Amino acid sequence: MNPRVVLAWRLLAWGMALAIAVGSLLPSMPGGVVAVSDKLLHFLGYMLLALAFTAAFSRRHWLGIAARLAVFGAVIELLQWWLPGQRSAEWVDLAANLGGIATGLVVAMAVPHAWRTRLDRLLGRPEGVEP
């Protein structure tokens, strides 16, 4: 197993989590700057986050990853409720987060070996080696 590749996946996943946390807790942008639904952004962000973590860890860890990401999304929403400023906690945001996590895991389970094997080969990790 190439430890650098595993480390790269894990750094990417944790970096994405940090980016989501910071982006979710900073004051919101003025309306009109982002022409996309914030619910769609929640969904896509957490789906990509789930995909990054499933690439970074073996399948036996995926249920724990999903649970931790759900707690992460809930904590972010609670912090938005408690922090002063332009952010607001919404149950629909949490639902979008959970939907994104579930979709990311379903996508990873539908094609786990195929996409990971191709990426592993591209990135230099020996085939069949689980991080």
Q: What is the pLDDT of residue 7?
A: 86
Contact 100, 44 (CB under 8 A): yes
- Using CA atoms, how far apart are residues 28 and 88, in angstroms rounded to an integer? 9
| Buried-state track 63-80, b at ≥16 Cβ within 10 A, e below 16 | eebbeebbebbeebbeeb
Sort residue 85 into left (φ over 0), alpha (ψ -120 to 50) or beta.
Answer: left
Q: Which SS3 state, helix, strand or coil, does residue 99 take?
A: helix
Q: What are the mean pLDDT values of the chain's consecutive 10-residue runs (131 residues total)?
A: 75 96 80 71 96 89 96 94 78 95 93 66 58 47
CA distances from 122 to 8, 25, 104, 117, 119 (A): 13, 35, 21, 8, 5
Q: Which of 11, 9, 17 is nearest to 125 (CA)?
A: 9
Q: What is the pLDDT of residue 116?
A: 65
Dihedral in degrees, nearest 10, Cα atoms 102, 48, 22, 75: 10
Q: What is the pLDDT of residue 1?
A: 46
Q: What is the pTM of this model?
A: 0.82
